[in-house]
Structure 1
Amino acid sequence: MAKREPGTPPVIGVIGGSGVYDIAGLTDVEWRRLDSPFGRPSDELLFGRLNGQQLVFLPRHGRGHAHSPSSIDYRANIDALKRAGVTEILSVSAVGSLKAELPPGSFVLVDQFIDRTFAREKSFFGEGLVAHVSMAHPTCHRLGRALAASCAELGIAHQVGGVYLTMEGPQFSTKAESALYRSWGCDVIGMTNMPEAKLAREAELCYATVAMVTDYDCWHPEHDHVTVDRIVAVLLDNAERARRLVAGTVPKLAGRAQACDAGCHRALDAALITAPEKRDPARLAMLDAVAGRVLA
Protein backbone atom coordinates (compact mmCIF):
# COMPACT_ATOMS: atom_id res chain seq x y z
CA MET A 1 0.00 0.00 0.00
CA ALA A 2 1.34 3.45 -0.95
CA LYS A 3 2.26 5.69 1.93
CA ARG A 4 -0.30 8.42 2.53
CA GLU A 5 0.79 12.00 1.90
CA PRO A 6 1.09 14.29 4.95
CA GLY A 7 -2.08 16.27 5.58
CA THR A 8 -4.40 13.83 3.84
CA PRO A 9 -7.26 13.16 3.67
CA PRO A 10 -8.43 16.75 4.16
CA VAL A 11 -10.38 17.56 7.31
CA ILE A 12 -11.36 21.21 7.55
CA GLY A 13 -11.24 22.96 10.91
CA VAL A 14 -13.05 26.22 11.61
CA ILE A 15 -12.22 28.44 14.57
CA GLY A 16 -14.59 31.30 15.32
CA GLY A 17 -17.76 32.41 17.04
CA SER A 18 -20.74 30.16 17.61
CA GLY A 19 -22.74 31.83 14.82
CA VAL A 20 -20.37 30.39 12.22
CA TYR A 21 -21.34 26.80 12.99
CA ASP A 22 -25.04 26.98 12.15
CA ILE A 23 -24.51 26.00 8.51
CA ALA A 24 -27.40 24.72 6.44
CA GLY A 25 -26.78 21.17 5.29
CA LEU A 26 -24.37 20.21 8.09
CA THR A 27 -25.04 16.58 9.01
CA ASP A 28 -23.79 13.95 11.48
CA VAL A 29 -23.37 16.70 14.07
CA GLU A 30 -21.78 15.74 17.38
CA TRP A 31 -20.11 17.74 20.15
CA ARG A 32 -17.07 15.88 21.49
CA ARG A 33 -14.50 16.69 24.18
CA LEU A 34 -10.86 16.11 23.25
CA ASP A 35 -8.14 16.25 25.88
CA SER A 36 -4.78 17.86 25.25
CA PRO A 37 -1.52 17.52 27.19
CA PHE A 38 -1.11 21.29 26.82
CA GLY A 39 -4.25 22.22 28.73
CA ARG A 40 -7.98 22.47 28.26
CA PRO A 41 -9.35 23.55 24.88
CA SER A 42 -11.81 26.45 24.82
CA ASP A 43 -14.77 24.08 24.45
CA GLU A 44 -15.85 20.77 23.03
CA LEU A 45 -15.33 20.34 19.29
CA LEU A 46 -18.29 20.11 16.95
CA PHE A 47 -17.88 17.37 14.36
CA GLY A 48 -20.03 17.30 11.24
CA ARG A 49 -20.13 16.73 7.50
CA LEU A 50 -21.01 19.11 4.70
CA ASN A 51 -21.68 17.40 1.37
CA GLY A 52 -19.61 14.47 2.61
CA GLN A 53 -16.60 16.55 3.69
CA GLN A 54 -15.56 16.23 7.35
CA LEU A 55 -15.57 19.52 9.28
CA VAL A 56 -14.52 20.23 12.86
CA PHE A 57 -15.59 23.47 14.55
CA LEU A 58 -14.10 25.03 17.69
CA PRO A 59 -15.62 28.06 19.46
CA ARG A 60 -12.48 30.11 20.11
CA HIS A 61 -13.89 31.82 23.22
CA GLY A 62 -16.07 28.87 24.22
CA ARG A 63 -19.84 28.79 23.95
CA GLY A 64 -21.19 31.82 25.79
CA HIS A 65 -17.85 33.65 25.31
CA ALA A 66 -16.28 32.36 28.52
CA HIS A 67 -12.64 33.06 27.62
CA SER A 68 -10.91 36.40 27.05
CA PRO A 69 -8.28 36.65 24.30
CA SER A 70 -5.51 36.31 26.90
CA SER A 71 -7.06 33.37 28.77
CA ILE A 72 -7.59 31.19 25.68
CA ASP A 73 -5.29 28.18 25.73
CA TYR A 74 -4.15 28.44 22.12
CA ARG A 75 -1.82 25.44 22.37
CA ALA A 76 -4.62 23.20 23.68
CA ASN A 77 -6.94 24.41 20.91
CA ILE A 78 -4.53 23.69 18.05
CA ASP A 79 -3.36 20.41 19.58
CA ALA A 80 -6.98 19.24 20.00
CA LEU A 81 -7.78 20.10 16.38
CA LYS A 82 -4.72 18.17 15.20
CA ARG A 83 -5.81 15.18 17.31
CA ALA A 84 -9.25 15.43 15.71
CA GLY A 85 -7.60 14.87 12.33
CA VAL A 86 -7.83 18.47 11.11
CA THR A 87 -5.46 19.30 8.24
CA GLU A 88 -6.43 22.93 7.51
CA ILE A 89 -7.90 25.74 9.59
CA LEU A 90 -10.18 28.56 8.51
CA SER A 91 -9.92 31.18 11.24
CA VAL A 92 -12.87 33.57 11.37
CA SER A 93 -12.29 36.66 13.51
CA ALA A 94 -13.92 39.99 14.31
CA VAL A 95 -11.52 42.92 13.90
CA GLY A 96 -11.34 46.70 13.90
CA SER A 97 -10.37 48.58 10.75
CA LEU A 98 -7.24 50.73 10.57
CA LYS A 99 -8.00 52.04 7.09
CA ALA A 100 -10.79 54.26 5.78
CA GLU A 101 -11.20 52.04 2.73
CA LEU A 102 -12.11 49.05 4.95
CA PRO A 103 -15.48 50.03 6.43
CA PRO A 104 -17.54 47.87 8.80
CA GLY A 105 -18.74 44.78 6.95
CA SER A 106 -15.53 44.37 4.93
CA PHE A 107 -13.75 41.02 4.92
CA VAL A 108 -9.94 40.92 4.77
CA LEU A 109 -8.14 37.74 3.73
CA VAL A 110 -5.08 38.38 5.86
CA ASP A 111 -1.64 37.28 4.67
CA GLN A 112 0.63 38.94 7.25
CA PHE A 113 0.66 39.53 11.01
CA ILE A 114 2.41 41.74 13.51
CA ASP A 115 2.39 40.04 16.90
CA ARG A 116 2.16 42.45 19.83
CA THR A 117 0.95 39.89 22.37
CA PHE A 118 3.08 39.21 25.45
CA ALA A 119 1.11 37.07 27.93
CA ARG A 120 0.62 33.86 25.93
CA GLU A 121 2.42 30.58 25.34
CA LYS A 122 3.57 30.81 21.73
CA SER A 123 5.20 27.48 20.95
CA PHE A 124 4.71 23.76 21.46
CA PHE A 125 8.49 23.40 21.55
CA GLY A 126 11.01 24.48 24.16
CA GLU A 127 13.43 23.00 26.67
CA GLY A 128 14.03 19.37 25.78
CA LEU A 129 13.09 19.79 22.13
CA VAL A 130 13.85 23.03 20.30
CA ALA A 131 12.35 23.81 16.90
CA HIS A 132 12.23 26.88 14.65
CA VAL A 133 9.60 27.10 11.89
CA SER A 134 9.45 29.74 9.19
CA MET A 135 6.74 32.38 9.59
CA ALA A 136 7.73 34.52 6.61
CA HIS A 137 4.42 33.62 4.97
CA PRO A 138 2.15 32.89 7.96
CA THR A 139 -0.99 31.96 6.03
CA CYS A 140 -1.60 29.28 3.41
CA HIS A 141 -1.89 30.75 -0.09
CA ARG A 142 -3.88 27.72 -1.23
CA LEU A 143 -6.59 28.38 1.37
CA GLY A 144 -6.40 32.09 0.58
CA ARG A 145 -7.10 31.47 -3.10
CA ALA A 146 -10.10 29.28 -2.27
CA LEU A 147 -11.53 31.89 0.11
CA ALA A 148 -11.01 34.71 -2.41
CA ALA A 149 -12.79 32.71 -5.12
CA SER A 150 -15.71 32.02 -2.79
CA CYS A 151 -15.97 35.69 -1.76
CA ALA A 152 -16.12 36.70 -5.42
CA GLU A 153 -18.76 34.07 -6.22
CA LEU A 154 -20.90 35.11 -3.25
CA GLY A 155 -20.54 38.85 -3.83
CA ILE A 156 -18.86 39.41 -0.43
CA ALA A 157 -16.86 42.65 -0.28
CA HIS A 158 -13.30 41.60 0.48
CA GLN A 159 -9.66 42.56 0.27
CA VAL A 160 -7.11 39.94 -0.74
CA GLY A 161 -4.07 40.36 1.51
CA GLY A 162 -3.57 42.59 4.49
CA VAL A 163 -1.68 43.04 7.75
CA TYR A 164 -3.40 41.99 10.99
CA LEU A 165 -1.99 43.64 14.13
CA THR A 166 -2.57 41.31 17.08
CA MET A 167 -2.72 43.20 20.37
CA GLU A 168 -2.85 41.60 23.82
CA GLY A 169 -6.11 43.12 25.05
CA PRO A 170 -8.59 42.76 26.59
CA GLN A 171 -8.69 46.56 26.52
CA PHE A 172 -8.89 48.29 23.16
CA SER A 173 -6.16 50.59 21.80
CA THR A 174 -5.41 54.11 22.87
CA LYS A 175 -5.62 56.70 20.09
CA ALA A 176 -1.81 56.98 20.14
CA GLU A 177 -1.46 53.21 19.67
CA SER A 178 -4.03 53.21 16.89
CA ALA A 179 -2.15 55.99 15.09
CA LEU A 180 1.12 54.06 15.51
CA TYR A 181 -0.32 50.90 13.99
CA ARG A 182 -1.73 52.90 11.08
CA SER A 183 1.72 54.39 10.48
CA TRP A 184 3.08 50.83 10.24
CA GLY A 185 0.70 50.10 7.37
CA CYS A 186 -1.53 47.68 9.28
CA ASP A 187 -4.97 47.02 7.83
CA VAL A 188 -6.90 45.54 10.75
CA ILE A 189 -6.48 45.02 14.48
CA GLY A 190 -7.63 42.11 16.62
CA MET A 191 -6.73 40.09 19.70
CA THR A 192 -6.85 36.41 18.76
CA ASN A 193 -4.91 35.31 15.67
CA MET A 194 -1.53 35.21 17.39
CA PRO A 195 -0.15 32.85 18.54
CA GLU A 196 -2.88 30.82 16.82
CA ALA A 197 -1.22 31.11 13.40
CA LYS A 198 2.23 30.31 14.79
CA LEU A 199 0.98 27.20 16.54
CA ALA A 200 -0.90 26.03 13.45
CA ARG A 201 2.36 26.25 11.50
CA GLU A 202 4.21 24.24 14.18
CA ALA A 203 1.44 21.63 14.03
CA GLU A 204 1.85 21.41 10.22
CA LEU A 205 -1.67 22.69 9.58
CA CYS A 206 -2.68 25.00 6.76
CA TYR A 207 -4.07 28.23 8.20
CA ALA A 208 -6.00 31.16 6.77
CA THR A 209 -7.67 34.15 8.41
CA VAL A 210 -10.95 35.75 7.44
CA ALA A 211 -10.87 39.07 9.32
CA MET A 212 -14.37 40.53 9.52
CA VAL A 213 -14.47 44.28 10.19
CA THR A 214 -17.04 45.31 12.81
CA ASP A 215 -16.02 48.93 13.33
CA TYR A 216 -13.26 51.46 12.87
CA ASP A 217 -10.62 51.50 15.57
CA CYS A 218 -10.45 54.60 17.75
CA TRP A 219 -8.35 56.55 15.21
CA HIS A 220 -11.45 57.33 13.16
CA PRO A 221 -13.10 60.73 13.82
CA GLU A 222 -16.55 59.08 13.88
CA HIS A 223 -15.48 56.37 16.33
CA ASP A 224 -17.21 57.93 19.34
CA HIS A 225 -20.52 57.96 17.48
CA VAL A 226 -20.60 54.19 16.93
CA THR A 227 -23.41 52.58 18.95
CA VAL A 228 -23.59 49.09 20.43
CA ASP A 229 -26.72 48.37 18.36
CA ARG A 230 -24.86 49.26 15.19
CA ILE A 231 -21.90 47.01 16.04
CA VAL A 232 -24.22 44.10 16.93
CA ALA A 233 -26.02 44.51 13.60
CA VAL A 234 -22.68 44.33 11.75
CA LEU A 235 -21.62 41.29 13.79
CA LEU A 236 -24.81 39.42 12.91
CA ASP A 237 -24.49 40.29 9.23
CA ASN A 238 -20.83 39.26 9.21
CA ALA A 239 -21.69 35.92 10.85
CA GLU A 240 -24.32 35.19 8.21
CA ARG A 241 -21.86 35.91 5.38
CA ALA A 242 -19.14 33.91 7.17
CA ARG A 243 -21.43 30.86 7.20
CA ARG A 244 -22.00 31.22 3.47
CA LEU A 245 -18.28 31.71 2.90
CA VAL A 246 -17.33 28.56 4.81
CA ALA A 247 -20.02 26.55 3.02
CA GLY A 248 -18.85 27.89 -0.35
CA THR A 249 -15.17 27.19 0.35
CA VAL A 250 -15.50 23.62 1.64
CA PRO A 251 -16.05 22.04 -1.80
CA LYS A 252 -12.89 23.77 -3.08
CA LEU A 253 -10.84 22.08 -0.35
CA ALA A 254 -12.37 18.61 -0.53
CA GLY A 255 -10.80 15.62 -2.24
CA ARG A 256 -7.16 16.66 -1.95
CA ALA A 257 -4.84 13.63 -2.22
CA GLN A 258 -1.49 15.44 -2.05
CA ALA A 259 0.18 17.46 0.70
CA CYS A 260 -0.34 21.23 0.50
CA ASP A 261 1.72 22.79 -2.27
CA ALA A 262 2.51 25.71 0.07
CA GLY A 263 4.53 23.34 2.28
CA CYS A 264 2.29 23.70 5.34
CA HIS A 265 2.06 19.94 5.92
CA ARG A 266 5.86 19.63 5.93
CA ALA A 267 6.69 22.67 8.07
CA LEU A 268 8.73 20.61 10.54
CA ASP A 269 10.93 18.86 7.97
CA ALA A 270 13.95 21.04 8.81
CA ALA A 271 12.73 22.69 12.02
CA LEU A 272 13.94 20.38 14.81
CA ILE A 273 17.28 21.47 16.24
CA THR A 274 17.82 19.34 19.36
CA ALA A 275 19.92 16.21 18.78
CA PRO A 276 17.89 12.98 19.11
CA GLU A 277 19.90 11.77 22.13
CA LYS A 278 19.21 15.08 23.96
CA ARG A 279 15.45 15.12 23.44
CA ASP A 280 13.32 15.03 26.60
CA PRO A 281 10.99 11.98 26.64
CA ALA A 282 8.29 13.92 28.49
CA ARG A 283 8.31 16.65 25.84
CA LEU A 284 8.26 14.05 23.08
CA ALA A 285 5.19 12.42 24.62
CA MET A 286 3.33 15.74 24.64
CA LEU A 287 4.16 16.28 20.98
CA ASP A 288 2.76 12.98 19.72
CA ALA A 289 0.01 14.71 17.73
CA VAL A 290 1.71 17.98 16.79
CA ALA A 291 5.02 16.52 15.63
CA GLY A 292 4.45 12.79 15.49
CA ARG A 293 5.15 12.69 11.75
CA VAL A 294 8.79 13.78 12.21
CA LEU A 295 9.38 12.13 15.59
CA ALA A 296 8.24 8.63 14.65
Structure 2
Amino acid sequence: MLWPHADATADQLAELRDAERPLLVVLDYAETRSGQLAALVRAAADHPGSSPLKLLLLARTDGDWWRQARTESRLAEDYLAAARTRLLAPLEDDPARRSAHYRAALRALAAALPSINQAAPLGRSSERELTDEAYGNALTLHMTALADLLDSAGPDGQRPEEVEDRLLGHERRHWHRNAALRVPALSRATLETALAAAHLTTVADREEADRLWRLLPALADQPRDQRDRVTAWLAALYPPEPTAGRPWGALQPDRLAERHAGHELSANPALADRLLADPGPGWPRTCSPSTAGPPRTPRSATAWTRS
Protein backbone atom coordinates (compact mmCIF):
# COMPACT_ATOMS: atom_id res chain seq x y z
CA MET A 1 0.00 0.00 0.00
CA LEU A 2 1.25 3.48 -0.90
CA TRP A 3 -0.03 6.85 0.32
CA PRO A 4 1.60 9.43 -1.98
CA HIS A 5 2.91 12.52 -0.26
CA ALA A 6 1.18 15.76 -1.18
CA ASP A 7 4.48 16.96 -2.67
CA ALA A 8 5.01 13.93 -4.91
CA THR A 9 5.72 15.07 -8.46
CA ALA A 10 4.26 13.67 -11.67
CA ASP A 11 7.65 12.15 -12.52
CA GLN A 12 7.83 10.40 -9.16
CA LEU A 13 4.31 9.02 -9.50
CA ALA A 14 5.08 7.88 -13.05
CA GLU A 15 7.56 5.37 -11.58
CA LEU A 16 4.60 3.35 -10.29
CA ARG A 17 4.17 2.04 -13.84
CA ASP A 18 7.11 -0.25 -13.07
CA ALA A 19 5.54 -1.80 -9.95
CA GLU A 20 6.23 -5.52 -10.00
CA ARG A 21 4.23 -6.50 -6.91
CA PRO A 22 0.54 -6.01 -6.13
CA LEU A 23 0.08 -2.39 -5.12
CA LEU A 24 -2.80 -0.32 -3.76
CA VAL A 25 -2.30 3.45 -4.09
CA VAL A 26 -4.46 5.55 -1.74
CA LEU A 27 -4.93 9.20 -2.68
CA ASP A 28 -6.42 11.10 0.25
CA TYR A 29 -8.10 14.49 -0.27
CA ALA A 30 -8.33 13.47 -3.92
CA GLU A 31 -10.61 16.41 -4.68
CA THR A 32 -7.65 18.76 -4.10
CA ARG A 33 -5.01 16.70 -5.96
CA SER A 34 -6.15 16.65 -9.58
CA GLY A 35 -2.60 16.83 -10.94
CA GLN A 36 -1.49 13.79 -8.97
CA LEU A 37 -4.64 11.92 -9.96
CA ALA A 38 -3.89 12.52 -13.64
CA ALA A 39 -0.31 11.29 -13.12
CA LEU A 40 -1.55 8.14 -11.39
CA VAL A 41 -3.98 7.42 -14.22
CA ARG A 42 -1.10 7.70 -16.71
CA ALA A 43 1.03 5.38 -14.57
CA ALA A 44 -1.80 2.84 -14.46
CA ALA A 45 -2.21 3.07 -18.23
CA ASP A 46 1.51 2.42 -18.73
CA HIS A 47 1.61 -0.48 -16.25
CA PRO A 48 2.09 -3.82 -18.03
CA GLY A 49 -0.59 -5.53 -15.96
CA SER A 50 1.73 -8.26 -14.75
CA SER A 51 0.58 -7.61 -11.16
CA PRO A 52 -2.49 -5.89 -9.69
CA LEU A 53 -2.29 -2.09 -9.46
CA LYS A 54 -5.31 -0.41 -7.89
CA LEU A 55 -6.11 3.20 -7.07
CA LEU A 56 -8.35 4.19 -4.14
CA LEU A 57 -9.49 7.81 -3.99
CA LEU A 58 -10.65 9.27 -0.68
CA ALA A 59 -12.61 12.51 -0.91
CA ARG A 60 -15.18 14.46 1.06
CA THR A 61 -17.59 14.46 -1.88
CA ASP A 62 -17.96 13.03 -5.39
CA GLY A 63 -19.26 16.29 -6.85
CA ASP A 64 -17.91 18.58 -9.55
CA TRP A 65 -14.26 17.61 -9.04
CA TRP A 66 -15.06 13.96 -9.79
CA ARG A 67 -17.08 14.74 -12.90
CA GLN A 68 -14.23 16.91 -14.15
CA ALA A 69 -11.57 14.32 -13.34
CA ARG A 70 -13.38 11.63 -15.33
CA THR A 71 -13.60 13.81 -18.44
CA GLU A 72 -10.23 15.57 -18.20
CA SER A 73 -8.76 13.50 -21.03
CA ARG A 74 -9.48 10.46 -23.17
CA LEU A 75 -7.23 8.46 -20.86
CA ALA A 76 -9.20 9.61 -17.82
CA GLU A 77 -12.45 8.61 -19.52
CA ASP A 78 -11.06 5.16 -20.28
CA TYR A 79 -9.91 4.49 -16.72
CA LEU A 80 -12.28 6.49 -14.51
CA ALA A 81 -15.64 6.52 -16.28
CA ALA A 82 -16.61 3.11 -14.93
CA ALA A 83 -14.99 3.58 -11.51
CA ARG A 84 -17.38 2.85 -8.66
CA THR A 85 -18.08 5.37 -5.92
CA ARG A 86 -19.14 4.45 -2.43
CA LEU A 87 -20.40 6.65 0.38
CA LEU A 88 -18.71 5.62 3.62
CA ALA A 89 -21.39 5.22 6.25
CA PRO A 90 -20.85 6.08 9.92
CA LEU A 91 -18.64 3.68 11.85
CA GLU A 92 -21.56 2.42 13.89
CA ASP A 93 -25.18 3.46 13.37
CA ASP A 94 -26.35 1.58 16.45
CA PRO A 95 -25.51 3.67 19.55
CA ALA A 96 -25.68 0.55 21.72
CA ARG A 97 -22.70 -0.93 19.89
CA ARG A 98 -20.49 2.17 19.99
CA SER A 99 -19.25 1.44 23.51
CA ALA A 100 -17.24 -1.52 22.23
CA HIS A 101 -15.49 0.67 19.64
CA TYR A 102 -14.91 3.35 22.27
CA ARG A 103 -13.32 0.89 24.72
CA ALA A 104 -11.16 -0.59 21.96
CA ALA A 105 -9.92 2.90 21.10
CA LEU A 106 -9.21 3.63 24.77
CA ARG A 107 -7.10 0.49 25.12
CA ALA A 108 -5.18 1.10 21.89
CA LEU A 109 -4.46 4.73 22.78
CA ALA A 110 -3.49 3.82 26.34
CA ALA A 111 -0.98 1.32 24.97
CA ALA A 112 0.65 4.17 23.05
CA LEU A 113 0.60 6.40 26.15
CA PRO A 114 1.91 4.11 28.90
CA SER A 115 2.47 7.01 31.32
CA ILE A 116 -1.30 7.56 31.57
CA ASN A 117 -3.39 5.31 33.77
CA GLN A 118 -6.17 3.87 31.64
CA ALA A 119 -8.08 2.43 34.59
CA ALA A 120 -10.16 5.56 35.24
CA PRO A 121 -11.53 6.14 31.73
CA LEU A 122 -12.02 2.41 31.17
CA GLY A 123 -13.86 2.16 34.46
CA ARG A 124 -16.21 4.94 33.37
CA SER A 125 -16.54 3.75 29.77
CA SER A 126 -19.94 2.20 30.39
CA GLU A 127 -21.16 5.62 31.55
CA ARG A 128 -19.94 7.49 28.45
CA GLU A 129 -22.93 8.85 26.54
CA LEU A 130 -22.48 7.90 22.87
CA THR A 131 -26.00 8.29 21.49
CA ASP A 132 -25.32 11.52 19.60
CA GLU A 133 -25.04 10.95 15.84
CA ALA A 134 -21.59 12.58 15.88
CA TYR A 135 -20.17 9.48 17.57
CA GLY A 136 -21.02 7.44 14.50
CA ASN A 137 -18.01 9.15 12.93
CA ALA A 138 -14.88 7.11 13.63
CA LEU A 139 -12.62 10.13 14.03
CA THR A 140 -14.98 11.81 16.51
CA LEU A 141 -15.25 8.62 18.55
CA HIS A 142 -11.48 8.12 18.63
CA MET A 143 -10.81 11.78 19.44
CA THR A 144 -13.28 11.52 22.32
CA ALA A 145 -11.50 8.45 23.65
CA LEU A 146 -8.17 10.27 23.47
CA ALA A 147 -9.58 13.37 25.19
CA ASP A 148 -11.08 11.23 27.97
CA LEU A 149 -7.77 9.45 28.43
CA LEU A 150 -5.75 12.68 28.60
CA ASP A 151 -8.30 14.39 30.83
CA SER A 152 -8.09 11.53 33.32
CA ALA A 153 -4.42 12.35 33.91
CA GLY A 154 -5.15 15.96 34.85
CA PRO A 155 -7.03 17.69 37.65
CA ASP A 156 -10.80 17.65 37.70
CA GLY A 157 -12.48 20.83 36.54
CA GLN A 158 -14.68 22.39 33.93
CA ARG A 159 -13.69 21.39 30.40
CA PRO A 160 -14.79 22.55 26.96
CA GLU A 161 -17.76 20.75 25.50
CA GLU A 162 -16.38 20.17 22.00
CA VAL A 163 -13.84 17.37 21.70
CA GLU A 164 -11.62 19.46 19.39
CA ASP A 165 -11.31 22.14 22.07
CA ARG A 166 -10.57 19.54 24.74
CA LEU A 167 -7.70 18.13 22.70
CA LEU A 168 -6.48 21.61 21.79
CA GLY A 169 -6.26 22.37 25.50
CA HIS A 170 -3.77 19.53 25.90
CA GLU A 171 -1.90 20.55 22.74
CA ARG A 172 -1.75 24.16 23.94
CA ARG A 173 0.00 23.14 27.15
CA HIS A 174 2.52 21.24 25.04
CA TRP A 175 3.06 24.32 22.84
CA HIS A 176 3.65 26.58 25.82
CA ARG A 177 6.03 24.22 27.63
CA ASN A 178 8.14 23.91 24.51
CA ALA A 179 7.99 27.65 23.81
CA ALA A 180 9.29 28.45 27.29
CA LEU A 181 12.52 26.69 26.31
CA ARG A 182 12.87 27.78 22.69
CA VAL A 183 11.23 31.21 22.31
CA PRO A 184 10.75 32.61 25.83
CA ALA A 185 10.84 36.23 24.62
CA LEU A 186 7.66 35.93 22.54
CA SER A 187 4.13 36.04 23.92
CA ARG A 188 1.77 33.10 23.76
CA ALA A 189 -0.60 35.13 21.59
CA THR A 190 2.14 35.77 19.04
CA LEU A 191 3.12 32.12 18.91
CA GLU A 192 -0.45 30.89 18.58
CA THR A 193 -1.00 33.30 15.69
CA ALA A 194 2.17 31.98 14.06
CA LEU A 195 0.91 28.45 14.56
CA ALA A 196 -2.38 29.31 12.87
CA ALA A 197 -0.50 30.86 9.95
CA ALA A 198 1.48 27.63 9.64
CA HIS A 199 -1.77 25.63 9.59
CA LEU A 200 -3.31 27.84 6.92
CA THR A 201 -0.40 27.83 4.48
CA THR A 202 2.34 25.46 3.40
CA VAL A 203 5.91 26.63 3.01
CA ALA A 204 8.63 24.75 1.16
CA ASP A 205 11.73 25.75 3.13
CA ARG A 206 13.14 27.99 5.85
CA GLU A 207 13.31 31.03 3.56
CA GLU A 208 9.61 30.78 2.75
CA ALA A 209 8.95 30.29 6.46
CA ASP A 210 10.75 33.54 7.20
CA ARG A 211 8.71 35.37 4.56
CA LEU A 212 5.58 33.99 6.19
CA TRP A 213 6.65 35.30 9.61
CA ARG A 214 7.30 38.73 8.14
CA LEU A 215 3.61 38.91 7.19
CA LEU A 216 2.71 38.86 10.89
CA PRO A 217 3.05 42.27 12.62
CA ALA A 218 4.29 40.78 15.90
CA LEU A 219 7.15 38.99 14.11
CA ALA A 220 7.89 41.35 11.22
CA ASP A 221 10.10 43.62 13.34
CA GLN A 222 11.86 40.78 15.14
CA PRO A 223 15.45 39.90 14.19
CA ARG A 224 15.94 37.00 11.80
CA ASP A 225 17.36 34.89 14.62
CA GLN A 226 14.13 35.22 16.59
CA ARG A 227 12.01 34.31 13.58
CA ASP A 228 14.23 31.28 12.99
CA ARG A 229 13.54 30.27 16.59
CA VAL A 230 9.83 30.23 15.79
CA THR A 231 10.55 27.92 12.87
CA ALA A 232 12.61 25.66 15.14
CA TRP A 233 9.83 25.68 17.74
CA LEU A 234 7.31 24.48 15.17
CA ALA A 235 9.70 21.81 13.91
CA ALA A 236 10.12 20.55 17.47
CA LEU A 237 6.36 20.42 17.99
CA TYR A 238 5.60 18.76 14.67
CA PRO A 239 8.70 17.26 13.05
CA PRO A 240 8.59 17.22 9.25
CA GLU A 241 8.82 14.04 7.24
CA PRO A 242 12.50 13.41 6.41
CA THR A 243 11.87 13.33 2.66
CA ALA A 244 9.48 16.28 2.52
CA GLY A 245 12.12 19.01 2.86
CA ARG A 246 9.68 21.30 4.64
CA PRO A 247 10.61 23.11 7.85
CA TRP A 248 7.82 21.56 9.96
CA GLY A 249 5.10 18.94 9.84
CA ALA A 250 1.37 19.25 10.49
CA LEU A 251 -0.92 19.12 13.48
CA GLN A 252 -3.08 16.03 13.06
CA PRO A 253 -5.89 15.36 12.62
CA ASP A 254 -6.83 18.25 10.36
CA ARG A 255 -9.85 19.03 12.51
CA LEU A 256 -7.57 20.23 15.31
CA ALA A 257 -5.57 22.47 12.99
CA GLU A 258 -8.77 23.86 11.48
CA ARG A 259 -10.27 24.46 14.92
CA HIS A 260 -7.23 26.39 16.12
CA ALA A 261 -7.03 28.40 12.91
CA GLY A 262 -10.74 29.16 13.15
CA HIS A 263 -10.34 30.51 16.68
CA GLU A 264 -7.45 32.73 15.59
CA LEU A 265 -9.30 34.03 12.54
CA SER A 266 -12.36 34.80 14.65
CA ALA A 267 -10.23 36.82 17.04
CA ASN A 268 -8.16 38.42 14.29
CA PRO A 269 -9.98 38.50 10.92
CA ALA A 270 -7.17 40.60 9.40
CA LEU A 271 -4.91 37.55 9.57
CA ALA A 272 -6.53 36.10 6.44
CA ASP A 273 -5.78 39.25 4.43
CA ARG A 274 -2.16 39.26 5.60
CA LEU A 275 -1.70 35.65 4.52
CA LEU A 276 -3.18 36.46 1.12
CA ALA A 277 -0.80 39.38 0.64
CA ASP A 278 2.05 39.14 -1.88
CA PRO A 279 5.25 40.35 -0.18
CA GLY A 280 7.46 40.03 -3.22
CA PRO A 281 8.81 37.90 -6.07
CA GLY A 282 9.14 34.22 -5.42
CA TRP A 283 6.35 34.01 -2.87
CA PRO A 284 3.34 32.11 -4.21
CA ARG A 285 0.00 33.71 -3.48
CA THR A 286 -2.17 31.55 -1.30
CA CYS A 287 -5.62 30.65 -2.55
CA SER A 288 -8.87 29.19 -1.34
CA PRO A 289 -9.32 25.43 -0.79
CA SER A 290 -11.62 25.25 -3.80
CA THR A 291 -8.94 26.62 -6.13
CA ALA A 292 -6.75 24.15 -7.97
CA GLY A 293 -3.12 25.07 -7.64
CA PRO A 294 0.20 24.36 -5.96
CA PRO A 295 0.50 22.84 -2.49
CA ARG A 296 0.67 26.23 -0.78
CA THR A 297 -3.06 26.36 -0.11
CA PRO A 298 -4.96 27.34 3.05
CA ARG A 299 -6.45 24.24 4.60
CA SER A 300 -9.14 25.84 6.74
CA ALA A 301 -12.84 26.06 5.99
CA THR A 302 -13.85 27.85 2.81
CA ALA A 303 -15.82 30.31 4.93
CA TRP A 304 -12.54 31.90 5.94
CA THR A 305 -11.26 32.55 2.43
CA ARG A 306 -11.45 35.92 0.75
CA SER A 307 -14.02 36.17 -2.03
**TM-score tier (shorter):** under 0.3
Bigger share in helix: 2
Bigger share in strand: 1
* Structure of higher RCO (CA pairs closer than 8 Å, 6+ residues apart): 1
Bigger-Rg structure (1/2): 2
TM-score (norm: length of structure 2): 0.22
